[in-house]
A and B are shown apart, each in its own frame.
Chain A
Amino acid sequence: NAGVTQTPKFRILKIGQSMTLQCTQDMNHNYMYWYRQDPGMGLKLIYYSVGAGITDKGEVPNGYNVSRSTTEDFPLRLELAAPSQTSVYFCASTLDRSDSNQPQHFGDGTRLSIL
């Protein structure tokens, strides 16, 4: 079972460059999320999606964009990389069910450094 897959695992960017962090899940989950984790801190929600074509901002959306054209994929876009965006990025997904409470499942993260 692949679960939640994130690519790349590591990346170094120069200030002002752009890139897309990829996230895909094979569990047919309708909800997907992007979090960032700074050193020694907990996770903060960047964006989330409750289904294809629907996205919304989390706690720290500035400097990022997302899209959700399919159920499986939820890419995160950095347009103008800044040193403050150096972090570890985690993608997660869950299945929303009215009859039970379901956990979120996480990928292994993308470690991004902006120099």
Chain B
Amino acid sequence: DAKTTQPTSMDCAEGRAANLPCNHSTISGNEYVYWYRQIHSQGPQYIIHGLKNNETNEMASLIITEDRKSSTLILPHATLRDTAVYYCIPYYGGATNKLIFGTGTLLAIQP
């Protein structure tokens, strides 16, 4: 399983863009980069995923480096409700779809 490195915690001002980095230098060629978040006392929430190209959806943008060894999740206009633990997870869908959650980044949005 690929290992990931994320900052333990980050702060961001409300209304600004939040940029969350992740290093996944041992990611294998068929693994996607998935991002989930967990708001206090709730189940993990899927945010976005990508393989090689940058991706954008209604929640966030995902920037993946060309060598695929790192990625950045961007929340374009952070709100207080975005305060959560964010997990970067290399993951391949197959017969044993097991998400490996590390300790993630605690993102605190400041008013």
A and B form one complex:
yes
Task: Point out which of A90, A102, A106 has the most chain B C-beta atoms below 10 A from its C-beta.
Answer: A106
Q: Please tell me the number of chain A residues within 8 Å of chain B, measured between CB atoms.
A: 27
Q: Which residue of chain A has its CB nearest to the CB of B51?
A: A101
Given A42-B87, A58-B98, answer yes or no on A104-B46 (Cβ-Cβ < 8 Å): yes
Stretch at the interface among B19-27, B72-80, B88-96: B88-96
Q: Tell me how many residue pairs across A and B have CB atoms closer than 8 Å.
A: 61
8 A Cβ contacts from A89-105 to B: 90, 92, 94, 96-97, 101-105
In the bound assembly, the distance between CA atoms of A84 and B101 in angstroms comes to 20
Does A27 have its Cβ within 8 Å of any Cβ on chain B? no
Q: Which residue of chain B has its CB nearest to the CB of A6?
A: B43
Q: Are A108 and B97 in contact (CB under 8 A)?
A: no
8 A Cβ contacts from B81-111 to A: 87, 91-104
The interface residues of chain B, by DSSP majority, are classed as loop
Cβ contact of A102, chosen from B44, B93, B104, cutoff 8 A: B93
Closest 9 CB pairs between A and B?
A: A42-B101, A106-B43, A103-B46, A43-B101, A101-B93, A106-B44, A108-B43, A101-B32, A90-B43
- Listed by A's residue number, 9 A-B pairs whose Cβ atoms lie within 8 Å are A33-B98, A33-B99, A42-B87, A42-B103, A48-B98, A97-B93, A101-B92, A104-B46, A109-B42
Chain A residues with CB under 8 Å of chain B are 4, 31, 33, 35, 41-45, 48, 50, 56, 58, 90, 92, 94, 96-97, 101-109
